[in-house]
Amino acid sequence: MELGIRDKVAMITGGSLGIGLAVAEGLAAEGVHLALCARDEERVVGVAEQIASKYGVKTIAVKADVGKAEDVNRFVAETEKAFGGADILINNAGTGGGETILEAPDEKWQQYWDLHVMAAVRFAKLMQPIMVRRGGGVIVNNVSICATQPLPYEPVYNVTKAALAMFTKCLANEFIKYNIRVNAINAGLILTPDWVKTAKMLTEGQDSTWESYLDQIARDNTPIGRFATPEELAHFFVFLCSPLASYCVGSSYYVDGGWLKVVN
Ligand code: NDP
């Protein structure tokens, strides 16, 4: 199927690993040029080079912590310098947690708020004039099923992702008049390094291994009984970025193996 996004430019935050990397590869396979950012410079530079040579697209890599306003500004500026702007923005960078509300210090709330919410707010304000100049654009926020169905061990994550879901809706309403479509994807269990890190943390000193912990989570929670690969999820991101999704505006799409327990 021709998706009609060849030679578009996409910015992906956290494009060096996990879901962000899979989306980067999915878009590159459709001929989209890429600006990737992450904090680990060596890794994001390596990934950008590999994708460029594998798919024949142009790529840049920018070291940036998107929880910081100055790094958000720099990522946008570097993308403008390299490509004259971007047509697609994937707000993907994010991370899970492990705390109770009583334990979590104010600094943790602030850090997750900056990473999951303020990054998307800042990118939106910077990208609006750029996308308008290019005739429109697409923004996809990688939210989470936890925005509506919280996991018990990570309230700070759940709350900040819920805020990102509401920001997505408000932004979609405000930006559609500029021909900028904004949507969210609420993924369920996607087997990425972040899950492995969380599983190792939660099973440290316990009887079960992190592998059996993950397997049990999938069987306990999802009707499908397994994690998805990042690539399975990336297909949906790529579709939402394409003109084939032209009537998709302001929605949160669940890709969760049936995990969501309500009709939403
Ligand atoms: P990974 O930890 O596997 O990858 C995260 C990516 O984001 C890496 O490239 C990392 O690179 C980058 N990153 C992390 N923090 C920052 C930051 N402050 N600034 C810039 N880049 C950053 O995570 P996942 O792929 O699992 O998760 C990606 C997104 O998907 C997150 O927002 C997560 O909440 C969401 N999600 C994940 C699900 C899952 O099951 N995996 C389910 C639902 C949602 P570096 O460390 O070098 O900065």
Overall CATH class of domain 9-190+228-255? alpha beta
Please give the distance, rounded to the nearest whole angstrom, from the Cα atom of residue 5 to the centre of ligand 1. 24
Residues carrying an active site annotation: 157
Distance 75 CA to ligand 1 centre (A): 17
| 187 touches ligand 1 (CB under 6 Å) | yes
For residue 227, the ligand 1 atom closest to its alpha carbon is 40
Average pLDDT taken over every residue of the chain: 97
Give pLDDT tens digits for 56-69: 999 999 999 999 99
* pLDDT for position 194: 84
Q: Determine which residue's CA is closest to atom 16 belonging to ligand 1.
A: 93
The residues that bridge with 170 in the sheet, in sequence order, are: none
Distances (CA, A) of 85 to 136, 150, 206: 11, 36, 49
pLDDT at 264 over 90: no
Q: Is-contact 131 85, C-beta < 8 A?
A: yes
Does the beta carbon of 164 sit less than 6 angstroms from any atom of ligand 1?
no
Per-residue pLDDT reduced to its tens digit, 164-215: 999 999 999 999 999 999 999 999 999 999 889 889 988 999 999 999 999 9
Segment 243-260, tens digit of pLDDT: 999 999 999 999 999 999
CA of 142 to the centre of ligand 1 (A): 9
* Confidence class for position 225, pLDDT limits 50, 70, 90: very high
Q: How many CA atoms lie within 13 A of 171 on its CB side?
A: 28
Q: How far, in Å, from the CA of 21 to the mean position of ligand 1? A: 10
Residue 44 corresponds to which tokens in the numbers above? 């994001």
Q: Is the CB of 225 under 6 A from ligand 1?
A: no
Rounded distance between C-alpha atoms, residue 104 and residue 114, angstroms:
15
Domain ranges of the chain: 9-190+228-255
> What pTM did the predictor assign?
0.97
Mapped to the 3 state alphabet, what secondary structure does the chain carry?
CCCCCCCCEEEEECCCCHHHHHHHHHHHHCCCEEEEEECCHHHHHHHHHHHHHHHCCCEEEEECCCCCHHHHHHHHHHHHHHHCCCCEEEECCCCCCCCCCCCCCHHHHHHHHHHHHHHHHHHHHHHHHHHHHCCCEEEEEECCHHHCCCCCCCHHHHHHHHHHHHHHHHHHHHHHHHCEEEEEEEECCECCHHHHHHHHHHHCCCCCCHHHHHHHHHHHHCCCCCCECHHHHHHHHHHHHCHHHCCCCCCEEEECCCCCCCCC
